[in-house]
Amino acid sequence: MLVKSKRDFYSGLLFVVVGAAFALGAQEYELGKAARMGPGYFPTMQGILLVLLGLGVLVNSLRHGGVDGDPIGAIAWRPLCFIIGANVVFGALLVGVPALGIPAFGLIFSIYALVLIASMARPKSSPVESFVLATLLALLSYGAFVKLLNLQFPVWPQFLSM
Amino acid sequence: MDMIDNLSLGFSVAFTFQNLLYAFVGCLLGTLIGVLPGIGPLATIAMLLPATYGLEPVSALIMLAGIYYGAQYGGSTTAILVNLPGESSSVVTVIDGYQMARKGRAGQALAAAGLGSFFAGCVGTLILAAFAPSLTEVALQFGAAEYFSLMVLGLIGAVVLASGSLLKALAMIVMGLLLGMVGTDINSGAARYTFDIPNLMDGLSFVAVAMGIFGYGEIISNLAKSDEEREVFTKSVNGIMPSMNDIKLMTPAVLRGTALGSALGILPGGGAVLSAFAAYTIEKKIKLKPGEVPFGEGNIRGVAAPESANNAGSQTSFIPLLTLGIPPNAVMALMVGAMSIHNIQPGPMVMTNNPDLFWGLIASMWIGNLMLVILNLPLIGIWIKLLSVPYRWLFPAIVMFCAIGVFSTNNSNFDIWMVAGFGVLGYFLIKLGCEPAPLMLGFILGPMMEENLRRAMLLSRGDWSTFVTRPISAGLLALAVLMLIVVLSPAISKKRQEAFVED
């Protein structure tokens, strides 16, 4: 049997896997009974429901679909990696990760890192332009969040302020 | 009449030059911070709260009301302009608002949201003043079974929101419900799906999930297109104020939204959130006039109705807040926190013990609402200008504001990384053609639904028939089934037609 809609096929697969994972995970918690439900009761119920719905989507994907088979299309790895990467690096640099020995670099430094990495998500980005944008955003954030709102961010790198 | 007396008492407390100034400043600050992409009303109010600490209680409340409305409206602005819902109720505003902005009608969308909200706020205030004491009793009629059925109805309503397949939308809701299970179970204290990570004990943060799925997912899929192909916005902006035709279309929508919001807002817990979804669902069911833009492609009713419903709902939701002490949403919960800092404990006693404070609060909410219109209608032109910022500058800024905003709500970099995780999920959901809005609603209602289900079943000693033997609950469930049938029937016939064409 041929898959008529690839998008629906993989959606269904995702629902079945997620539902099964939650339902199986719920077995670690006390189930209880209908009159006195334990922490595992509702997630088990919903997990099974999601598996059933996912199976429904899967079956449907074999029967109906667009003329071209609803392809998922290429995954945009470049923006995916750089946007997510920029976020992860920002989180790590802002307050540091003691477990990995990364010190807190503070807000200003982290903003430069975030903007420079995120800008690379576009194929033809210019480093100079990104640097100017990072400077502008750093100034704006410093003024708004640190000076005006007085939020508690580490602003400068830990090792410099000591 | 009591109502007039009460309101005039309220206004005599609130209406001084100094207080009006505080309302204005609060509204301005709230709008300025709230309009930053990625920083929703919740984060805005949290950031601005300390500014009110030094004031007297009444002035502080008035400034808070200004901040609240400013933040709400600022949030709607970003929802409409950059497709980032900052709180649960703007999830539906995004659907048509963003499409309007893409077609150069951002000004009309913002004006519709502002005017609709103001009208709804005025009506909500009057209803609150007139019926607060008697409406309390209606809210008390609702037991756990009724809440559960109401939420089922709300979720089925959300299915109608999704433009794609019904099954996928239902599955997305259930996935949302399951994501809502993460964290400590309130009944037993068991930590569920936390993988021993302390940051997950309080559950996934709404802000992180919404930013990741809506914000980052959208940015990544936008960047995947080439510069020419990326139809973010049309350059030409067709005026700012709504045309006569727009007004004709939006007026009934505003009225319906206001009525629905006022009614649902009275229900404690989630009423205001449901009202925006319900209002949108109803508008979608009403037949399009000839020449009207379809829903999901920038229909002005799709902006005006949920925004009015939300505002009317948050106004009347003061009734359960002040009588049962249940905050209807996270933003209101924060307001309660702010009030207690000023030694005001929301609860049944406020109305009788502190009438000047209670009615002063009602009056100040109205003043905040008024300030919003005065301040923001002229500002719409400036917000529109933001749209002309090239996307290559806008997207790093959005990523940055999201990261800073989510960090500031909990001061934890774990939350920043959570946005990244949900960004990946959001991108793949877009790729798979799964609508994220039902997932968000499921996520918000999940914990409430579970709690009410457990309580209802405990009260009925494990008898599932409690949901159909209690009249209000049975009525709500019947409505849900009816809606499902209505939605299902055209879908079936459409599928049949497709199959016919393929043969």
Q: What does the pLDDT look like over B104-118, one tens digit per residue? A: 888 888 888 888 888
To which H or E segment does residue B192 belong? Answer: strand B191-192
> Quick check: is A71 in a domain?
no
The alpha helices in A64-157, defined as continuous H runs, are 77-95, 106-119, 127-141
> Quick check: is A69 in a domain?
no
Is residue A117 classed exposed, middle or buried when 0-12, 13-18 and 19+ CB atoms within 10 A define those classes?
Answer: buried
Kindly report the length of chain B.
503
CA separation, residue B252 to residues A49, B80, B106, B114, B189 (Å): 39, 21, 21, 16, 47
Residues of chain B in contact with residue A97, where contact means CB-CB under 8 angstroms, are 413
Residue that wins the pLDDT comparison between B264 and B159: B264
Cα–Cα distance measured from residue B155 to residue B169, given in angstroms and rounded to the nearest whole number: 10
Which pLDDT score, from 0 to 100, does residue B158 have? Answer: 66
Candidate from A142-146, B70-74, B336-340 with smallest mean pLDDT: B336-340
Residues of chain A in contact with residue B170, where contact means CB-CB under 8 angstroms, are 53
- Three-state secondary structure readout of B166-177: HHHHHHHHHHHH
Cα–Cα distance measured from residue A133 to residue A151, given in angstroms and rounded to the nearest whole number: 22
Q: Look-up: residue for tokens 């159909």?
A: B468
Which pLDDT score, from 0 to 100, does residue B333 have? Answer: 66
Same domain, A59 and A96: no
Candidate from A73-87, B15-29, B155-169, B192-206 with smallest mean pLDDT: B155-169
Q: Is the pLDDT of residue B467 over 80?
A: yes
Query: What is the pLDDT of chain B when averaged over all its residues?
Result: 78
Please give the structure tokens belonging to residue B331: 């933003």
pLDDT band at B497 (very low <50, low <70, confident <90, very high): very low
Residue where a domain terminates, one of A63, A90, A111: A63
Which pLDDT score, from 0 to 100, does residue B174 have? Answer: 93
Q: Is the pLDDT of residue B149 over 70?
A: yes
DSSP state of A37: E
> Quick check: is A68 in a domain?
no
| DSSP secondary structure, B215-249, as one string | IIHHHHHHHTS-TTT-----S----SSPPHHHHHH
User: Is-contact B110 B77, C-beta < 8 A?
Assistant: yes
- For residue range B244-270, list pLDDT tens digits in order: 888 888 888 899 889 888 888 776 555
Domain count, chain B: 1
Same domain, A94 and A55: no
Q: What are phi and psi of A85, to 5 degrees?
A: -60, -45
- For residue range B50-66, list pLDDT tens digits in order: 667 677 777 887 888 88
Range of the domain at B158: 2-502
Domain count, chain A: 2
Q: Is the pLDDT of residue B145 over 60?
A: yes
How many angstroms separate the CA of residue B453 from the nearest CA in chain A? 9
Same domain, A17 and A86: no
> Quick check: is A145 in a domain?
yes
Interface test with A, best of B48, B402, B407, B498 (most A CBs within 10 A): B407
pLDDT band at B90 (very low <50, low <70, confident <90, very high): confident
Which pLDDT score, from 0 to 100, does residue A111 have? Answer: 93
How many angstroms separate the CA of residue A119 from the nearest CA in chain B? 6
Strand, helix or coil at A32?
strand
Q: Which ipTM was obtained for this model? A: 0.90
Range of the domain at A106: 77-161
> Quick check: is A96 in a domain?
yes
Q: Is the pLDDT of residue B500 over 50?
A: no
Which pLDDT score, from 0 to 100, does residue B160 have? Answer: 62
Same domain, A84 and A142: yes
- For residue range B382-425, list pLDDT tens digits in order: 777 766 777 788 888 888 888 888 887 778 888 889 989 999 99
Cα–Cα distance measured from residue B28 to residue B236, given in angstroms and rounded to the nearest whole number: 28
Q: Residues near B289 by Cβ (< 8 Å), separated by ≥ 6?
A: B249
Interface test with B, best of A67, A90, A95 (most B CBs within 10 A): A90
Taking the CA atoms of B253, B254, B256 and B260 in sequence, report the sign of the dihedral they define: positive
Which pLDDT score, from 0 to 100, does residue B503 have? Answer: 34
Residues of chain A in contact with residue B178, where contact means CB-CB under 8 angstroms, are 18-19, 22, 43, 46-47, 50
User: Is-contact B416 B212, C-beta < 8 A?
Assistant: no
Same domain, A146 and A83: yes
